[in-house]
Amino acid sequence: MLPKMLTDEKYKEVLINSLNTAIDMLQGNSKLFSVILPEELNAEYLDKNESVVSRLSHIVSKVENDNMNFNPYETSFINRAISEYIDRLELSQSHLIYMVEDVDIENVQSMKNAIEEAFISHMRFNAECLENRIERNINSEPTFNKDIILKALSNAERYVNSNSEELEFILNDLDIKQDYTEKNNMALHAIKMTKYDIENGSSLNPAAVSIVNRAMNQYIQKLETAQSNILYTMDGLSDLNHFKEKIKEVHFEVFKFNESYPLPSMSLGLMNRPRPPRP
C-alpha cells in the first residue's frame, strides 16, 4: 500500500525540509510585521505566530526522533507544510529557469527530482496516517463539512483546467503538448474521482487524502488572496469578519477532515478497492 520509492532517510528529509520552510516563512512574517504594524498589534501577532512556530518545531522534533504518530492537528500542519513546500519548489524552479542562461532539463533535474520526492512523500505520509488509524481501529463518523471540501476540489479542478488552456496556447511541440495533456487529464480524473468519493461517503485512499489536503490549502490561499485584494481595492471597508471567519472555517474543516475521513472497511487493500464509475 505504501509508496516505497523513497528511502526512509529521504522521506524524513522531505518532511523536515517542508516543516522548516513553513517555520522560515512564519518567522519572515514576524520580521516584516515588526516594521509595519503598530507596536501593540505586532506584539499580539508575534505571540500567536510564535505559538504556531513552537508547534511546528515540536513536530520537527518528533520526525527527527522517528515518532511518526500524529494527531489530526499535527497531520493537518504537515499536509499544509508539504503542499506549500511543493509550491515553493515549483516557484523556485521557474525562477532558476528564468535567471540562468542556457538552462536545459539536465540543469534543472535536481529541482525536478525534489518536487517529485515531495509529491511522493505527501502520499506516503497520508498512507502511513491512514494505516495507523486502521491499525488503531479509529473509524469515527465523518464530521467535516462536505460542501467546503467539494468547493475546494472544484477550485483545484478549475486550476488544473486553466493550466491546460494556458499551455495549449504556449506549447509548440506537439509531442510535449500531447504528453502533458494526457498527464493533466489523469490529474483531473483523480480530482473527479475524489469528488465522487466525498459526495458518496466512500472510503479514501492515500492519494485522495493528499488531493483533498492540497486542494484545501490552495483554497485557503485563494481566499487569502481575495481578502487582500478586496482590502486593497475597497475604500471605507470596515468589516473584515466575513473573510476572517470563512478562512478560519476552512482551516477548521482541514482538521476535521484529517480526523474523520471514511476509512476502508476491509483490511489494507486501499489501492485495490472497486473503482466508482466515471462521473
CA distance 10 to 63: 12
Spell out the SS3 assignment of 124-193: HHHHHHHHHHHHCCCCCCCCCCHHHHHHHHHHHHHHHHHHHHHHHHHCCCHHHHHHHHHHHHHHHHHHHH
Inform me whether the pLDDT recorded for 237 exceeds 80. Answer: no
Statement to judge: residues 106 and 233 lie in one domain: no
Statement to judge: residues 55 and 179 lie in one domain: no
For residue 240, what pLDDT band results from cuts at 50, 70 and 90? confident
pLDDT, tens digit, for every residue of 204-233? 999 999 999 999 999 999 999 988 888 888
Statement to judge: residues 111 and 158 lie in one domain: no
Name the more confident of 106 and 36. Answer: 36
pTM over 0.75: yes
* Domain extent for 215: 141-279
Instruction: Identify the CA nearest to 88 among candidates 50, 115, 59.
Output: 115
Statement to judge: residues 160 and 238 lie in one domain: yes
Looking at 112, 138, 164, which one is the last position of a domain? 138
Asked whether the beta carbons of 146 and 31 are under 8 A apart, the reply is no
Looking at 104, 138, 172, which one is the last position of a domain? 138
What confidence score (pLDDT) does residue 264 get?
A: 76
Ranges of beta strands (E only) in 118-226 are none
pLDDT, tens digit, for every residue of 19-69? 999 999 999 999 999 999 999 999 999 999 999 999 999 999 999 999 999
What confidence score (pLDDT) does residue 265 get?
A: 58
Name the more confident of 150 and 2. Answer: 150
In this prediction, residues 126-149 reach a mean pLDDT of 87
Inform me whether the pLDDT recorded for 1 exceeds 50. Answer: no
Inform me whether the pLDDT recorded for 267 exceeds 50. Answer: no
Inform me whether the pLDDT recorded for 190 exceeds 70. Answer: yes
What confidence score (pLDDT) does residue 12 get?
A: 96
Q: DSSP 3-state assignment of 97?
A: helix
Statement to judge: residues 132 and 153 lie in one domain: no
pLDDT, tens digit, for every residue of 108-125? 888 889 999 999 999 999
CA distance 90 to 114: 10
Statement to judge: residues 37 and 129 lie in one domain: yes
Asked whether the beta carbons of 244 and 238 are under 8 A apart, the reply is no
Statement to judge: residues 133 and 205 lie in one domain: no
Statement to judge: residues 147 and 279 lie in one domain: yes
Inform me whether the pLDDT recorded for 268 exceeds 70. Answer: no
At residue 3's C-alpha, the angle toward residues 104 and 255, to 5°, is: 100
Inform me whether the pLDDT recorded for 78 exceeds 60. Answer: yes
165: cell is: 488552456
Statement to judge: residues 51 and 124 lie in one domain: yes
Statement to judge: residues 92 and 198 lie in one domain: no
264: cell is: 476502508
Statement to judge: residues 102 and 127 lie in one domain: yes
What confidence score (pLDDT) does residue 208 get?
A: 94
Looking at 123, 138, 153, which one is the last position of a domain? 138
In this prediction, residues 240-249 reach a mean pLDDT of 85
Instruction: Provide the number of structural domains found in the chain.
Output: 2
Statement to judge: residues 255 and 132 lie in one domain: no
Instruction: Identify the CA nearest to 59 among candidates 114, 32, 10, 21.
Output: 21
